[in-house]
């Protein structure tokens, strides 16, 4: 893990208690993410949580955005404080940062770039749900921002397992190291 610790941050993305149960492998994802978080903490790697959330009335959701507009009705009656809660088994420790984003990318509508700059981060280790949403969008934007990237493949999940495999096997390796959590810990 030594080569993955300097100027590194672990991004734990969209591991929200309200969203995880929608994935068939959510218990495995919780376990693998807990292992990654513990390893990061043990190696003094900042753990930064990213959640998706909106203000009352959902003013951030445009009807022009096909994906989010479709979810606007679903989110309308949901208390955002509840929706944004991180899975308790993965909860932040005191002092760990939680960033709220407004779109798929962890950078979109959030202050993530400011936090990463303050930590002097140059390398991001990504986990999250869903692989084809937050992980893909964050990876692409972070690559454009010249971050070194690692994706923990078994700490990411998608509603479509074939899409997940395609991304971690064929797409992500073009811009990131793709490892399992155990490979990352033992590197």
Question: Domain boundaries in the chain?
Answer: 2-186
Q: Provide the CA 169 distance to its chain's centre, in angstroms.
A: 18
- Other residues' Cβ atoms within 10 Å of the Cβ of residue 105: 22
In the predicted model, is pLDDT for residue 118 greater than 80? yes
In the predicted model, is pLDDT for residue 63 greater than 90? no
Taking a C-beta distance cutoff of 8 angstroms, is the pair 86, 51 a contact? Answer: yes
In the predicted model, is pLDDT for residue 67 greater than 90? no
* Average model confidence (pLDDT) across the chain: 94
In the predicted model, is pLDDT for residue 68 greater than 90? no
pLDDT at residue 60, as a whole number? 83
pLDDT at residue 3, as a whole number? 67
Put simply, whether the predicted model's pTM sits higher than 0.85 gets the answer yes
Q: What kind of fold does domain 2-186 have according to CATH?
A: Rossmann fold (3.40.50)
Contacts of 173 (CB under 8 A, 6+ apart): none
Q: Is 9 helix (H, G, I), strand (E, B) or coil?
A: strand
């Amino acid at each position: 893990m030594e080569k993955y610790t300097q100027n590194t941050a672990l991004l734990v993305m969209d591991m929200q208690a309200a969203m995880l149960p929608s994935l068939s492998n959510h218990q495995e994802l919780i376990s693998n993410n807990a292992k990654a978080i513990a390893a990061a903490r043990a190696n003094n790697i900042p753990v930064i949580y990213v959640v998706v959330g909106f203000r009352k009335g959902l003013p951030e959701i445009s009807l022009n955005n096909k994906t989010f507009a479709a979810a606007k009705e679903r989110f309308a009656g949901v208390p955002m404080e509840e929706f944004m809660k991180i899975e308790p088994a993965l909860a932040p420790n005191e002092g760990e940062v939680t960033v709220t984003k407004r779109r798929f990318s962890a950078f979109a509508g959030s202050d993530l770039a400011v936090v990463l700059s303050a930590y002097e981060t140059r390398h991001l280790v990504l986990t999250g749900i869903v692989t084809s949403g937050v992980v893909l969008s964050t990876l692409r934007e972070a690559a454009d921002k010249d971050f070194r990237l690692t994706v923990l493949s078994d700490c990411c999940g998608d509603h479509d397992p074939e899409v997940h495999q395609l991304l971690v096997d064929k797409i992500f390796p073009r811009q990131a190291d793709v490892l399992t959590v155990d490979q990352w810990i033992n590197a």
